[in-house]
Amino acid sequence: MMHPEPIMDIAHLGHLELLTPKPEESLRFFVDVLGMTESGRKGDSVYLRGWDDYERYSVQLTAAKTSGLGHMAFRARSPQALQRRVAALAGSGYEIGWLEGELGHGPAYRCHDPDGHIVELYYETEWYDPPAELKPSLKNQAQRYPARGVNVRRLDHINCLAADIKANRIFFDEYLGFRLTEQIVLDDGTEAAMWMTCTNKSYDFAYSRESHGIKGRFHHLTFALDCREDILRAADIFLEAGVHIETGPHKHAIQQTFFLYVYEPGGNRVEMANAGARLVLAPDWKPIVWTEAERKKGQAWGLKTIESFHTHGTPTLEEMKATGAL
Amino acid sequence: MMHPEPIMDIAHLGHLELLTPKPEESLRFFVDVLGMTESGRKGDSVYLRGWDDYERYSVQLTAAKTSGLGHMAFRARSPQALQRRVAALAGSGYEIGWLEGELGHGPAYRCHDPDGHIVELYYETEWYDPPAELKPSLKNQAQRYPARGVNVRRLDHINCLAADIKANRIFFDEYLGFRLTEQIVLDDGTEAAMWMTCTNKSYDFAYSRESHGIKGRFHHLTFALDCREDILRAADIFLEAGVHIETGPHKHAIQQTFFLYVYEPGGNRVEMANAGARLVLAPDWKPIVWTEAERKKGQAWGLKTIESFHTHGTPTLEEMKATGAL
Amino acid sequence: MMHPEPIMDIAHLGHLELLTPKPEESLRFFVDVLGMTESGRKGDSVYLRGWDDYERYSVQLTAAKTSGLGHMAFRARSPQALQRRVAALAGSGYEIGWLEGELGHGPAYRCHDPDGHIVELYYETEWYDPPAELKPSLKNQAQRYPARGVNVRRLDHINCLAADIKANRIFFDEYLGFRLTEQIVLDDGTEAAMWMTCTNKSYDFAYSRESHGIKGRFHHLTFALDCREDILRAADIFLEAGVHIETGPHKHAIQQTFFLYVYEPGGNRVEMANAGARLVLAPDWKPIVWTEAERKKGQAWGLKTIESFHTHGTPTLEEMKATGAL
Amino acid sequence: MMHPEPIMDIAHLGHLELLTPKPEESLRFFVDVLGMTESGRKGDSVYLRGWDDYERYSVQLTAAKTSGLGHMAFRARSPQALQRRVAALAGSGYEIGWLEGELGHGPAYRCHDPDGHIVELYYETEWYDPPAELKPSLKNQAQRYPARGVNVRRLDHINCLAADIKANRIFFDEYLGFRLTEQIVLDDGTEAAMWMTCTNKSYDFAYSRESHGIKGRFHHLTFALDCREDILRAADIFLEAGVHIETGPHKHAIQQTFFLYVYEPGGNRVEMANAGARLVLAPDWKPIVWTEAERKKGQAWGLKTIESFHTHGTPTLEEMKATGAL
């Protein structure tokens, strides 16, 4: 008997809404230090883009009482694909409903994952149309290369925390068609982290186990840069700009990503990453399973994983207590 | 009315068969200079792989009277996808038929493009199982990094010559579901080149107009390296190894590929390339059309395209005359 | 008999005065595109520096009727070394005399080379003292990394044109103690170019034969960047900024410099260069002599040297005619 | 009153003799993993070179009962310079005497530093003459680029341990003319480390305080690579080769060196390093003094210095106990 065919209905991660209690400082970080471009304002949100993001924006930065994730948004492959995913979610218990009028894209269907993060699906989108001074020299490029700060290229992936990794993996697999590429399974058989994809990238998002049992928290968002040298240079720039570098640059054993983690002024963790020319081309990729012992060996070249990497998430516990959420 | 949905049945370029009249010298080039690994022999063929190719091989090097392309092979996304493509080709006039017993993969369906190049489709494949001395340290990697010569990572794409670009574009679009990302359209409205993809790479193959009206010729095969520095180092290595460098390193305006072209001893053109973190994520990418005037401006940073790039293909005219094909 | 000992009296190239007929546009190029910092103004000059230049400035940009070189300036190793060089020049016919009151350094002795370029020697200098907003995070660095445009690191070398290369070589050798590292000697025995050093860099200046027999012209100034990737990125930035790229990036066979040549708005040629970790450590380095045939082979990886590289110098012939100098 | 002029009599670090209790395994490491070339054998020593070392060798690998440093050797700038340094050492108490017949260079004068490390001075030397298969394509290069393993370019510097840093600093300053560029001075006023140079590199050797009060121990030798990407790639290669990575890749705050430390099979620490285009050009460089508090901040991008970096030296304490030296 033949295996069922893969669901190809989600095209890619489109954007995320990032919450910040320090909107002005966060904005300066994303524009001045990371080199992003502001491409819209609406309500409490400023919309931002990397120079290679083809849609109008990839980050919606929203002033809020705490840091954290507002929502994540995936673009469907076609109008039909969007309808199929909405139909699949019907009756799942994860539905939220249709939302219209968001800046930059058409009608969006919202649901939530088992951990409570809001997931948005849409198809119609606004392609970025740069003003004259940002027109690129090469017409196959979305926007002029800014030559400012870190020059982040495009949004690459996000990482959420969740109390139950397995439940979330099944949700994204069954309802949305994401494919698992790597995961950590502990000695007791429970899942500690997972990496899933809907593209040829080896992951479009990851989930790590939340260590306090709190739901809906966020670990980090990641921008793609062209090469490892770009990320080393970013470290130089963060040092000069007084940005808190949490760990890196170094190479993850899992997914082999060359990483650098910093905290933006609002408290959210931001990663600069590069996987070189690595792509998952196999349509039947066999997930790589990392054991507890392997995880303890640290990163690829021997760096021990820093403690805060396992504990810091947004909103922070302090923010949650201050706002009465804890 | 809704647009038809994209065909997602082809997963990726799997391998190509490359013909060489100097099999021993070509083999030494691919293994010693490029850093590939031999992973099989059968008949007149030696099978070769880059350290990140997940299948057993990506290049089948076959001793022959001339240089050129034996066949190109694409892996289907699923058994069902393969059957759908075979069904689509039925009655097209491009059919060749099923082939069994090839090394490293299951039954393959062969057809030819309008220009006569042989195109093979298959699903079942042999994942590479490295011998002990080639086991990688990280289990998410296909093979140990060789640390020898150019260290090509994986097969990236191929480029064929064809008398009628438009006919070939329509063939790959309609029968196989490839998507056009960029093309050159001359002032007289004819198409001079095209780049098509079935992945998130911006192209998995390209076709350029053959300047002598001869069918079935080959322009080059391309390996992906991790960064531009890898390609500069490759140029240093080719210089030391006495390999003919045709042009580069430089950056193409079209597709923005950072390129370096050399000739292997058998006469076939081989490219080392890197596109950085550039991916085509949009499911509805609007093809970029380059005009005759734009093409004349040369490469991205001003390098004039070398004349041989428009004339040299394999088999060469000299070989075709010597073998009576011309 | 023992050889005479090397003269070690000149420490390094300190700065050059660059003339521009378009002072405002040139300034914007050096500050906005190259990422230099303005560190002084006096008379018709604006003083500029790379982030790793330890002295107050390395480029004195002076508004003038034509482009070209105002003067080049070398820092002596000690006050005594300066006195020795001045004494050596006495009676040579090349003396100009002492000059005081220049911005940023102490008394300077000026002479001219056999081709008429003005050469300045000084010892006392002003170390750059950055304002608060340009203080670096690491105290062993002259200035904060700007993270703007090309981010040129420091002045590396200059290249002059001269009618008689041999005469200039002997001048710099005998009076100033520079050591020849590489040269081009034509089939007729005449010298076509030379590279000389007073440091462990393989050259601090070069001279190429002027093709029209005009004296005092300038070929280019060069900034050092950290790696070849920095220079590739610079090419991307020049493309976006509409800067004329003359040739490169590529690797010179002579000196193995990785180069990129552009014209600044005033018409002067500017090079971005990187020699990797290459240093001339041997105190008795044997000069490399390149023949006419070797020179015709082009650059290291086969790029043919562009015609304008042999003909364009500053001031341009057009400027010289317009100002009555020709 | 004028300052005395700098002593310019030492040209550069020429080579070091490295002791290993596992000569065959060490040799395989230097040749197969680092990509060095064997250029001689004599007695218990094998002589090794990087592809850009201009002398016959830069490392003399000697089979011994323990790991550690045999001797370090500096090339004088001229025969006269060598005589001056020998004369200066007369009566110092540090003299050992002349040694003839060493492979690859002329008569050498040996002395020891206050901590007991053997320091050798020589002028006459054998320039490397590659066999036909190692002739480079560019005649300004010492040897063909090997394209094997890490491809170390040239010996860059060494680092010794010493009980009294200040005494050693004064020794190298007064007798040999080295210049201090950076140092660590603790809160109690004692010196904990120093970096000195005789070239335009910012250091040709360093000394760190030995933590057990044992004399004559060695910390590491360092090879220069061209760029940071080369060092990241080296880390990939060490991972595959099963080489112990102690720490890095990361950037030192002191000297800003981009570093990667590994242990060769004999137990000696080996560094791959790159300082980009950083040079100390100022003849009157003002030493940078780092405080105890600054040192505690860790490396440039925040990596905490690993404990073994302060304790591991060669010979190891275990070796010294086993051989009766402790």
Strands (E) in B146-212, as ranges, are 154-162, 179-185, 191-197, 205-209
Give the tens place of pLDDT for each residue, B4-42. 899 999 999 999 999 999 999 999 999 999 999 999 999
Measure CB to CB from residue D245 to each of A239, A249, A301 and give the nearest one: A301
- B83 — contact with chain A (CB < 8 Å)? no
Shortest CA gap C160–chain B (Å): 25
**Secondary structure of C81-97 in HEC code, one letter for each residue:** HHHHHHHHHCCCCCEEE
Provide the shortest C-alpha distance from residue D35 to chain A (in Å).
20
Provide the pLDDT confidence category of residue A3 given band limits of 50, 70 and 90.
confident
- Collect all residues of chain D within an 8 Å Cβ-Cβ radius of residue C200: 12, 199-201, 279
H-run or E-run covering B81: helix B79-89
Q: What are A95-111's pLDDT values in tens digits?
A: 999 999 999 999 999 99
pLDDT greater than 70 at residue C289: yes
C239 contact residues in A (CB cutoff 8 A): 137-138
Residues of A in Cβ contact (< 8 Å) with B80: 2, 5
Between chains, do B248 and C300 touch, taking CB under 8 Å as contact?
A: no
Sheet strands side by side (includes C179-185) = C244-251, C258-263, C269-274, C218-224, C154-162, C205-209, C191-197, C179-185, C288-290
Portion 169-228 of A in contact with D at CB < 8 A: 227-228
For residue D1, what pLDDT is reported?
52
Q: Is the pLDDT of residue B292 over 90?
A: yes
Cα dist. C54→C37, C60, C130, D58, D285 in Å?
13, 15, 10, 32, 9
Contact between B53 and B40 (Cβ < 8 Å): no
Chain B interface test: which of D151, D230, D233, D239 (most B C-beta within 10 Å): D233
Tokens representing D245 are 């990575």
Measure D235 CA to nearest chain A CA, in Å. Answer: 7
Nearest to C301 among B228, B239, B251 (CB): B239
Chain C positions in Cβ-Cβ contact with residue B236 (cut-off 8 Å): 251
Query: Closest to A227 (Cβ–Cβ): which among C229, C237, C239?
Result: C229
Tell me which chain A residues have a C-beta less than 8 angstroms from the C-beta of D234.
Answer: none
Please give the structure tokens belonging to residue A39. Answer: 């491409």
pLDDT-derived band at D43, boundaries 50, 70, 90 = very high
Tokens of A157: 């992936």
**Cα of A278 to nearest chain D Cα, Å:** 15
User: B88-102, B237-251, C52-66, D1-15: which has the minimum mean pLDDT?
Assistant: D1-15
Mutation for testing the B interface, residue in C150, C252, C301, C306 having most B CBs under 10 Å: C301
Q: How far apart are CA D134 and CA B112, in angstroms?
A: 47
How many residue contacts between A and D have a Cβ separation below 8 Å?
Answer: 42
Give chain C positions within 8 Å (CB) of D153: 276-277
Contact B301 C258 (CB under 8 A): no
Best of B233, B238, B272, B274 to disrupt the D interface (most D CBs within 10 Å) is: B233
Domains of chain B (ranges; CATH) run 10-322 (3.10.180.10)
Reported as a single tens digit per residue, the pLDDT across D216-234 is 999 999 999 999 999 999 9
d(CA D90, CA D83): 11
Taking the Cβ of residue B87 and every Cβ of chain D, the question of whether any pair is shorter than 8 Å is answered with no
B5, B77, B224 member nearest A80 (Cβ): B5
B245 touches C298 (CB < 8 A)? no
D97: left (phi over 0), alpha (psi -120 to 50) or beta: left
pLDDT > 70 fraction of chain C, expressed in percent and rounded: 99
- pLDDT at B137 exceeding the cut of 90: yes
Q: Which pLDDT band holds residue D326 (cuts at 50, 70, 90)?
A: confident
With contact defined as 3+ CB pairs under 8 Å, the chains touching A are B, C, D
Contact B301 C238 (CB under 8 A): yes
Report the alpha-carbon distance of residue A80 to residue B283 in Å, rounded. 13
Specify the DSSP class assigned to residue C127.
B
| pLDDT confidence tier of residue C2, bands split at 50, 70 and 90 | low
Confidence category of residue C1, pLDDT binned at 50, 70, 90: low
Instruction: With a cut of 70, say whether residue A1 has pLDDT above it.
Output: no
Chains that touch D (3 or more CB pairs under 8 A): A, B, C
Sign of CA dihedral B146, B149, B150, B154: negative
pLDDT at B1 over 70: no
Judging contacts by C-beta atoms under 8 Å, the chain D residues touching residue C156 are: 277
CB contact under 8 A, B240 and D147: yes
Chain B within 8 Å of D132 (Cβ-Cβ)? no
For CA atoms D317, D323, D325, D326, the dihedral sign is: positive
Partner-chain contact C227 B228, CB within 8 Å: no
- Partners of D249 on chain A (C-beta within 8 Å) are 249-250, 301
Rounded to the nearest angstrom, the minimum Cα separation between C317 and chain B is 24
> B247: which chain C residues are within 8 Å (Cβ-Cβ)?
302
Q: Which one-letter DSSP state was computed for residue A283?
A: T
Which one of A230, A232, A237 makes the best mutation probe of the D interface by having the most chain D beta carbons within 10 Å?
A: A232
Q: Name chain C contacts of A239, Cβ cutoff 8 Å.
A: 137-138
| A238 interaction partners in chain D (CB closer than 8 Å) | 301
- Are A251 and D235 in contact (CB < 8 Å)? yes
Side-chain-side CA neighbours of residue C266 (13 Å): 28
User: Taking 90 as the threshold, does the pLDDT of residue D276 lie above it?
Assistant: no
**Minimal CA separation from D256 to chain C, in Å:** 8
DSSP code at position D93: S
Q: How far is CA D136 from CA A34, B260, D34, in A?
A: 43, 21, 19
What CA–CA distance (Å, rounded) separates C71 from B22? Answer: 58
Give the one of C228, C279, C288 whose C-beta lies nearest to D139's C-beta. Answer: C288
Query: How far apart are the C-alpha atoms of B42 and B24, rounded to whole Å?
Result: 15
Task: Give the model's confidence band at C3: pLDDT under 50 very low, under 70 low, under 90 confident, else very high.
Answer: confident
pLDDT band at A2 (very low <50, low <70, confident <90, very high): low
Task: Summarize the confidence of residues B52-73 as an average pLDDT.
Answer: 98
Distance CA A138, CA A135 (A): 9
Polymer length of chain A: 326
Residue A27 to residue A31: CA distance in whole angstroms: 6
Q: Which residue has the tokens 């420490």?
A: C11
pLDDT band at B326 (very low <50, low <70, confident <90, very high): confident
Q: Report the alpha-carbon distance of residue D130 to residue D49 in Å, rounded.
A: 11
CB contact under 8 A, C11 and D282: yes
Q: What is the pLDDT of residues D233-262, one digit of tens each?
A: 999 999 999 999 999 999 999 999 999 999
> Chain C within 8 Å of A149 (Cβ-Cβ)?
yes
D277 and C226 in contact by Cβ < 8 A? Answer: yes
D137–B229 CB contact, under 8 Å: no
Q: Is the CB of C147 less than 8 angstroms away from the CB of A237?
A: yes
Q: With bands split at pLDDT 50, 70 and 90, how would you rate the model's confidence at C326?
A: confident
A248 touches chain D (CB under 8 A): yes
CB-defined contacts A:C, below 8 A: 37
Q: Which of C246, C249, C302 sits opposite B245 (nearest CB)?
A: C302
Find the CB nearest A301 among D228, D229, D239: D239
Q: Cα–Cα–Cα angle for C144, D196, C5, nearest 5°?
A: 110
Percentage of residues of chain D with pLDDT beyond 90? 96
How far apart are the C-alpha atoms of A185 and A288, rounded to whole Å? 10
pLDDT class of B175 with cuts at 50, 70, 90 = very high
- Cis before C315 (ω within 30): yes
Q: Are D238 and A301 a contacting pair at CB < 8 A?
A: yes
Nearest by Cα to C243 from C254, C255, C235: C235
Candidates B33, B144, B227; nearest CB to D240: B144
Is the per-residue pLDDT at D273 higher than 70? yes
Summarised one tens digit per residue, pLDDT across range A223-264 is: 999 999 999 999 999 999 999 999 999 999 999 999 999 999
